[in-house]
Structure 1
Amino acid sequence: MTTLTKLRARVSPQAITKVTRIFNGTLDDIFAELFQNARRAGATRVAVTAEHLDDACLITVDDDGAGIADPIDLVSLGQSDWPGECRSREDPAGMGFFSLAGLDTVVSSTSAAGSFWLAIAGDAWTGEADIDVLPWDGPRGTAIAFHFPPGPDGKLERTVEAAARFFPLPVTYNGKDIARADFLADAYKIIERDGFRIGVFRDRHSPHVATLNFHGVTLKHAFPVIKEVHHTQWSVQVDIVDAPDLVLVLPARKEIYRNTALDHLVALCRRAIFSVIYAEPLHRLSFEDWLEARFYSDDFPQAARQLPLWSPSTAREDYRQVPAFADLEPGATIYDDTDSYDSVTFGRALRRSNGGEPHKLGGPDPRAFHEPITNFIGYPWYDALSCFIRTGECLTHDGDQAAASEPDALTQRPDAIRIELTDQHGNRLDVETDFVIQEGDDSWGDPDCAVIAVTRGSELDPNDLTDLIIDAVFSPSDDSDADSYDTQETRFRHDAAVRAHAILEGDDAAILAGIRMAFADRVAWRIPHGRKLQLTWSSSGNDLTLVVAGEGANQ
């Protein structure tokens, strides 16, 4: 057991033997690291050339920077000869050159301190062989040439283009200028602060898009995204200008190191988004996001006094498109339907009250109903609105009233139906209608189990009632062994139509309707054109005759 009382961390000399595994050794890594070194050296341009040999490609990266003062720093893992100002501003790790580890590499460099030329191959990368340093007579700057395995046609040029696209210096490939672009070119608004250019983007967020440009090295980081309620989604991308405290995780530099600088940047991004929203004509921030926005601006306005107009939902909807938002008018009210039975019932009541509008209540107490938006709870204007739910129905039979849920209430068609609504304050609102549907036992997928009432004086015809039943009850199965949607809908429509005819016209009409639909689906298409089928069928026998159309009129 050791008797030491103090220790100090150090790098084992054996670490250099694993240097070929520090980087993936891809061209993307190599160009990213060499380009960054050129930028730190104060270069004004970078030139990449490629010579395709029989079994390899000779690639050279040449810059006109300050050059390398001491060659020993070049091959010392974790050590660099960058000036003090560069080290304080960018925290260079002295590892970038080792992205070439394992490749036959030649370096020639001229600096104010002198010039040299050296070649590294094989064991020289792992410290197991000497590297000869030879004199060199060349212009100021550094040229690094290396052999790389040949790749598919065009891949090398595409890799150079990708590395140069957002790099701050001009880059050429075999003498041709490589196009560059502004990382924030498509931003809705660009805000410059604390060494960052923050681009705020409108409705253009994707986890597959790079969000940070670190002097040409682009990364995917999950910066803040703020989504307004059924409205704009705001996201950001960040272009680094001068941020010495924001550093990348070494050695690969594929993610941002979590420190106070990153926390500060995230806060700046949120502030930037809120500042853009503040300048918009209106917003639909959730109440929670609005409270945060007020930390940045005390006079941040509340969300626009708008809500989606209420419209009925159906049982078959897996996803429902939110209706268009509209300004709140006097009499604006919220209706919070609980299911498709409730929604279809209330929608019929509204259309009947005003002649067809799906969201307005006519009569002596006119109102415009809107959808509830729970994210708005907390805004004073939203909390002040009455929010009604359906709390009961009352059916009148010959002057006597009964609740629709009572077992005998639907044995005969009522004279009148009244839907009872109650808001969050206990206020009642009664709506007269001619139709109500409720969920009965096992009613999902079975129109015969739904509880339905239609007044005697209703103007609903069997087709209208069939559609109402379908909207309230039909929920197709998406199991892998289920029939197609069309087959399920057709079968359900037959059952719903039979139920509708039975309610409105009686049992005989329902039987005939079922036969008629079955005949139309399965038999009618077999009758030849210009012919007519005469059919008589009973338990005692049947008779089918094909005649020419127009014959047998008296039979």
Structure 2
Amino acid sequence: MTIQTKLRARVSPQVISKVTRIFNGTLDDIFNELFQNARRAGATFVAVTTEHIGDACIITVTDDGAGIANPADLVSLGQSDWSDECQTREDPAGMGFFSLAGLDTVVSSTSAAGAFSLAISGDAWTGEADIDVLPWDGPPGTQIAFHFAAFPDGKLERAVAAAARFYPLPVSYNGEGLPSADFLEGAHSVIERDGVRIGVFRQRHVGQMPTVNFHGVTLIHALPQIKEVHHAQWSARVDILDAPDLVLVLPARKEIYRNAALERLVTQCREAIFATIRAEPFHRLSFEDWLEAKVNDEDYPEASRELPPLHTVHARDTYRDIPKFEPLAANAAIYDEADSYDSVTIERALAFSRGGVDGEPHCLAGAQPLTFYTPLRQFAGYPWYDALSCYIRTGESFSQDDGFQTRSDDDGLTFRPDRITLELADQHGRRLAVPSDFAILENDDAWSDPDYARIALARTSSLDPGDLTEFIIDAAFSPSDDADADSYDTQETRFRHDAAVRAHAILEGEDAAILAGIRMAFADRVAWRIPKGRTLQLTWSGEGTDLKLLATAGEARP
């Protein structure tokens, strides 16, 4: 066999036999393709009518466009007679009509070149039968009628309405005009450039919503989204007006062809979002996004000098809620807590510094007053943010009035010093000593058992057992979400019981702790059984028990 030295790509004649599989044959595809052909032909309206015959429906799509000059082009896959201008601007593929492939179809058209009518049977689409070209005496434009299965559930009406919603021409259905809408309706801003309209939306969930509108054909394409730091979420949608370089993947036209024009569009969407944010009273762009915004706008302002105040983080929190941002105080600093133990400890230290005087919970009073804020590393790089001292806790010390370091109790988990000092340091090496009357330190087993938390409480502390119980719970209670674990309420009740016993033991001794445990168990499981107005008298010991249900004063015993 002689091998050819030169070849040219060609379409095999066998392709026509598979034409019915090029499109899905859905109503959505059919209406979209026929509507687009009408628009390209210069139509001013599209009319859809239906006639139900038994279990079938004859659907007719009519337009007043320029019509079809050559019927052979209509049934030639990949061939079209669109004008040179249309070819340049739209890149039509000559395939849209074949969305009807396999359906009995009648096409009638009147153009400047003449008029004709084609009756295309189902098997004629694959080239297995001839198609007769018949005379036609109708108005300018094109009329396409095809058989389709009947849809009693309103699917047909929904398909027509969906195709018409963002289509640029008026569409009627059985004589009634269909509603239309601007694809960018509800946009925070609309920027038009290079043949496209870019709508920028604020706080809009994108999900699986269409993001691009090609003259009524809507597509889902991942367009840029920009999230400000704990602030607005911005996204973009695009309405194509006249952008010849933006083309769709053939033949189905369900997605945008990836080329330089698409990359440029994505860039323009980001620029449009940044421009929209620029017009807002303030922004909270991350430092990285701000640098990108400055590429096209050297004077783009920095993020607002605001941060959320320092707030307590609880071990039980599954989501860390950030409080409302506030302008930075003159003595602003950042405190970067390590975990809930650290957070609860510093919360008490800040309150202790105020000596019981009401004030902002994130402020440190004393000789070196500071207002602490929550760190947001997305702002790292902004000069105003980097200039803030960022403190972390580097340790703690416990001492007695005589100056000696205190010793822990025998269990190594409870400390009762005269003084507690938290040691802080910032990124510049500056050190800060913060007095307190309480500190709770992490221990490996403390997450599931409050008895293992390492607790330091000054001898002169004003905390009562209730306060101490809440601190232990806030720092250490982290419920299990295992399938075989008890409910949250059951776990919290059990942990609260153990934390209260520990708090009473530290502050009041073992007998008080035992009584506190009994009291809580009694309140949870027994007290509700005592009738209203009655009194239960209970004596319980190893030698025996005595229970009496007493009547109220002046009431006879039962």
**2:237 — aligned with what?**
237
**CA separation in 1, counterparts of 2:122 and 2:29?**
20
**CA separation in 1, counterparts of 2:54 and 2:407?**
88
**2:472 — aligned with what?**
469
**CA separation in 2, counterparts of 1:254 and 1:444?**
52
Query: Counterpart of 2:201 in 1: which secondary structure?
Result: strand
Scaled by the length of structure 2, the TM-score of the pair is 0.97
Kindly provide the amino acid, as one letter, of the partner of residue 380 in structure 1: P
What is the Cα deviation at residue 43 of structure 1?
Answer: 0.5
1:446 corresponds, among 445, 449, 464, to 449
**1:219 — aligned with what?**
219
**1:186 — aligned with what?**
186
**CA separation in 1, counterparts of 2:347 and 2:402?**
26
Query: Counterpart of 2:405 in 1: which secondary structure?
Result: strand
Q: What are the within-5 Å matches in structure 2 for residues 343-422 of structure 1?
A: 343-354=343-354, 355-356=357-358, 357-402=360-405, 413-422=416-425
What is the Cα deviation at residue 2 of structure 1?
Answer: 5.1
Q: Residues 448 and 489 (structure 1 numbering): CA distance in 2 closer, same or farther, change over 3 Å?
A: same
**1:317 — aligned with what?**
317
Query: Any conservation in 2 of the 1:336–1:387 contact (CA below 8 Å)?
Result: yes
Query: Counterpart of 2:58 in 1: which secondary structure?
Result: strand
Kindly provide the amino acid, as one letter, of the partner of residue 429 in structure 1: L
State the Cα deviation string for residues 474-493 of structure 1 (Å, max 9, x = none). 00111111111111111110
Give identity over the alignment, percent: 70
State the Cα deviation string for residues 399-444 of structure 1 (Å, max 9, x = none). 2343899988765511111111110111111111111000123111
Query: Any conservation in 1 of the 2:44–2:169 contact (CA below 8 Å)?
Result: yes
Query: Counterpart of 1:542 in 2: which secondary structure?
Result: strand
Query: Counterpart of 1:304 in 2: which secondary structure?
Result: coil
Query: Counterpart of 1:491 in 2: which secondary structure?
Result: helix
**CA separation in 1, counterparts of 2:344 and 2:373?**
15
**1:33 — aligned with what?**
33
**2:524 — aligned with what?**
521
Query: Any conservation in 1 of the 2:79–2:94 contact (CA below 8 Å)?
Result: yes
What is the Cα deviation at residue 547 of structure 1?
Answer: 2.0
**2:306 — aligned with what?**
306
Kindly provide the amino acid, as one letter, of the partner of residue 369 in structure 1: F
**1:131 — aligned with what?**
131
**1:208 — aligned with what?**
208
Kindly provide the amino acid, as one letter, of the partner of residue 428 in structure 1: R
**1:106 — aligned with what?**
106
Kindly provide the amino acid, as one letter, of the partner of residue 91 in structure 1: D
What is the Cα deviation at residue 5 of structure 1?
Answer: 1.7
Q: Residues 404 and 167 (structure 1 numbering): CA distance in 2 closer, same or farther, change over 3 Å?
A: farther
**CA separation in 2, counterparts of 1:551 and 1:476?**
48
Query: Any conservation in 2 of the 1:394–1:404 contact (CA below 8 Å)?
Result: no
Kindly provide the amino acid, as one letter, of the partner of residue 168 in structure 1: P
**CA separation in 2, counterparts of 1:405 and 1:295?**
59
**CA separation in 2, counterparts of 1:113 and 1:458?**
101
Q: Residues 501 and 406 (structure 1 numbering): CA distance in 2 closer, same or farther, change over 3 Å?
A: closer
Query: Any conservation in 2 of the 1:393–1:403 contact (CA below 8 Å)?
Result: no
**CA separation in 2, counterparts of 1:441 and 1:549?**
51
Query: Counterpart of 1:76 in 2: which secondary structure?
Result: coil
State the Cα deviation string for residues 138-180 of structure 1 (Å, max 9, x = none). 1110000000001133221221111011101111111111111
Query: Any conservation in 1 of the 2:407–2:415 contact (CA below 8 Å)?
Result: no
Query: Any conservation in 1 of the 2:166–2:216 contact (CA below 8 Å)?
Result: yes
Query: Counterpart of 1:251 in 2: which secondary structure?
Result: coil
Q: Residues 96 and 290 (structure 1 numbering): CA distance in 2 closer, same or farther, change over 3 Å?
A: same
Q: Residues 550 and 420 (structure 1 numbering): CA distance in 2 closer, same or farther, change over 3 Å?
A: farther
Query: Unaligned stretches of 5+ in structure 2?
Result: none
Q: What are the within-5 Å matches in structure 2 for residues 8-47 of structure 1?
A: 8-47=8-47
Scaled by the length of structure 1, the TM-score of the pair is 0.97
**1:59 — aligned with what?**
59
**1:259 — aligned with what?**
259
**CA separation in 1, counterparts of 2:411 and 2:96?**
84
Kindly provide the amino acid, as one letter, of the partner of residue 493 in structure 1: R
What is the Cα deviation at residue 531 of structure 1?
Answer: 2.4
**CA separation in 2, counterparts of 1:109 and 1:381?**
70
Number of matched pairs: 552
**CA separation in 1, counterparts of 2:451 and 2:411?**
16
**2:433 — aligned with what?**
430
**Which is worse superposed, 391-400 or 40-49?**
391-400
What is the Cα deviation at residue 539 of structure 1?
Answer: 1.6
State the Cα deviation string for residues 471-524 of structure 1 (Å, max 9, x = none). 000001111111111111111100000000000101110000001111111111
